[in-house]
Amino acid sequence: MKIGISSFVWVSPFNTNNIDILYKAKEYGYDLFEIAVEDAALIDLKKVKNVAREIGLELSVSGAFGPERDISSDNLAYRKIGLSYIKDCIRIANELESPVFGGPLYSAVGKTRLVSKEQKQLERQYCIENLFEATNYAQEMGVVLALEPLNRFETDMINTIEQALALINEIDHPHLKILLDTFHTNIEEKNVVNSILMLGDKLAHVQGNENDRGTPGTGHVNWIGIRDALVQIGYKGSIVLETFGSPSKELARAASIWRPLAESADILASEGATFFKKIFQQ
């Protein structure tokens, strides 16, 4: 199984001036570097791709969804911006040869409210209409969309694997699958292992994070069980460490990151790679 690390571990937003962290990722032993696209205009895709090829590092792409990128919003302009952003990221994934583009595609991170059943249904319909168009475009670009459930403190729309499956099954398209993040599932699932087994071939991508988003192996996530379940379903993708070393104010607020999660981003990345290699590659 390939192991990867997200740009979020070091910087937010990622830009071409941060390209040195690709070399760090390779040095620490990662097979893949995941670019969180907060602002595509900051990224020289050709340069990033050339560096990754030069050092033998694969690339994947994830998204960052603020209020103006919410495809389930009441605001039509925001829905249009959100769909356009998803399509831009699909094009970026295609250019960088990432097999997936993943994230909470359905809504804005930090959007948590108690709303009526009618409002929820309306937002779900907006979401489905836009996801359907995005998924067809992803198929054209040879990319799989990976929809990520978030915990209850970051979204009121899709918290569990069961909810995520219900949503993608409504669209029923081979280019729309699920991203499982072990941080969120640790909060929301009764049994993370069973959730992986439930997903089977609907699992497109894994972000492997400790229960506190700190260094993997220092908390209580059931890593052995997760590994064995991934092997059992024949998962061939990557497991990517995605935590936040220097979050922007907006990201810190959305993900409730109020304290350092490790002594330093470099130490977290290095120790994370050592742990992931021990669990997933031996």
Kindly tell me the sign of the dihedral angle through the C-alpha atoms of 207, 211, 217, 222: negative
| CA quadruple 71, 203, 221, 114: dihedral, nearest 10 | 30
Q: What is the dihedral of CA 280, 159, 220, 2, to 10 degrees?
A: 10
CA distance 193 to 208: 13
CB 195 within 8 A of CB 189: yes
Can you state the angle between helices 45-55 and 76-95, rounded to 10 degrees?
40
Give the whole-angstrom CA distance, residue 90 versus residue 61. 8
Q: Which two tokens stand for residue 41?
A: 């205009």
Q: Check if 148 is active-site.
A: yes
- Catalytic residue flag (residue 133): no
* C-alpha–C-alpha distance, residues 97 and 93, integer Å: 6
Q: Which of 263, 262, 242 is nearest to 30 (CA)?
A: 242
Catalytic residue among 148, 188, 189, 210, which?
Answer: 148
Among 34, 189, 242, 271, the one annotated catalytic = 242
- Where do we find the tokens 């909810």? 163
Catalytic (active-site) positions: 148, 242
